[in-house]
């Protein structure tokens, strides 16, 4: 595909996402008017993505991923998504590069309830992803609060997993790392060892994280060598 074709494709996909934020109706004429692309080309793209009269949640997430692949700024695309779509977009992005993912983990440890928006696991690293669908950077006090909440989740997840799996055989050591994923471009990429990552820069940030995770806030835990993510965290639901 030529660079001009990619630009056209990205522009059409972005326009579809923008026009379907409030209503799920697909109107080729309106898409053509807003994107300044001929309606015949718009209809061709709609057919390619099997988009008829309406667009579903899954289709919007797929279009967002495709638009980013075609070079549309991820931060801009994310502004057309609601918080559920944003979290699903993050999950799909992690899966594309080989991570197992688990969304909306809820667990209780020592009478404290926790929620992790997204866990991403590659057999070596387990990322605790806090998805912030905020359109502007938080205040310093909000940043501090986010970090404190991440710290509590990190420490309790570490302790809970250690308790659950301490008697198992063939354990391996993995590293838990908290990250905060945002729509906006964060002014601070690191705060007390915690990474703030813009969704538009996720791939590059993960390359850095996988090379230099020992420099970041992290905790180590031993878990069974042969279990996947869902099996590792399933016993968490039984803790009180």
Tokens of 137: 């950077």
Provide the pairing of β-strand 194-198 with 171-182: parallel
The pLDDT of residue 240 is: 62
Condensed to tens digits (0 to 9), the pLDDT of residues 39-55 reads 999 999 999 989 988 99
Question: Is the sign of the CA dihedral 121, 124, 130, 132 positive or negative?
Answer: negative
Bridge partners of 176? 126, 219
Task: Please state the domain extents for the chain.
Answer: 3-72, 88-238
Closest-CA residue to 61 (of 53, 47, 49): 49
Q: 107, 237 in Cβ contact below 8 A?
A: yes
Mean pLDDT of 118-140: 89
| pLDDT reading at 224 higher than 90 | yes
Q: pLDDT tier at 72 (50, 70, 90 boundaries)?
A: confident
Whether the CB-CB separation of 118 and 131 falls below 8 Å is answered with yes
- CB contact set of 86 (below 8 Å; sequence gap of 6+): 78, 131, 133, 183, 199
Rounded Cα distance between 171 and 232, Å, is 12
Q: How far apart are CA 109 and CA 238, in angstroms?
A: 10
Handedness of CA 115, 95, 162, 192 (dihedral sign): negative
Range 88-238 has CATH code 3.40.50: no
Q: To the nearest 5 percent, what fractions of the chain are helix, strand and coil?
A: 50, 25, 25
Q: Which helix (H) or strand (E) holds 222?
A: strand 219-224
Chain segment 83-122, per-residue pLDDT in tens? 899 999 999 989 988 999 999 999 988 888 999 999 999 9
């Amino acid at each position: 595909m030529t660079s001009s074709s990619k630009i056209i494709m990205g522009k059409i996909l972005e326009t579809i996402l923008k026009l379907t934020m409030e209503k799920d109706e697909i109107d080729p004429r309106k898409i053509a008017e807003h994107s300044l692309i001929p309606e015949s080309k718009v209809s061709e793209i709609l057919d390619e993505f099997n988009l008829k009269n309406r667009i579903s949640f899954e289709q919007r997430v797929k279009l967002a991923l495709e638009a980013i692949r075609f070079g549309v700024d991820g931060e801009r695309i994310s502004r057309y998504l609601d918080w559920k779509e944003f979290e699903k977009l993050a999950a799909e992005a992690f899966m594309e590069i080989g991570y197992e993912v688990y969304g909306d983990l809820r667990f209780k440890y020592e009478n404290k309830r926790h929620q992790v928006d997204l866990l991403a696991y590659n057999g070596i690293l387990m990322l605790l992803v806090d998805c912030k669908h905020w359109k502007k950077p938080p205040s310093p006090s909000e940043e501090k609060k986010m970090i404190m909440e991440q710290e509590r989740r990190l420490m309790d997840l570490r302790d809970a997993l250690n308790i659950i799996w301490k008697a198992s055989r063939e354990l391996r050591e993995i590293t838990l790392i908290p990250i905060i994923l945002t729509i906006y471009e964060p002014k601070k990429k690191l705060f007390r060892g915690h990474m703030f990552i813009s969704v538009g820069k996720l791939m590059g940030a993960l390359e850095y994280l996988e090379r230099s995770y020992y420099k970041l806030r992290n905790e180590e835990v031993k878990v069974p060598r042969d279990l996947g993510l869902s099996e590792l965290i399933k016993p968490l639901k039984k803790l009180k």
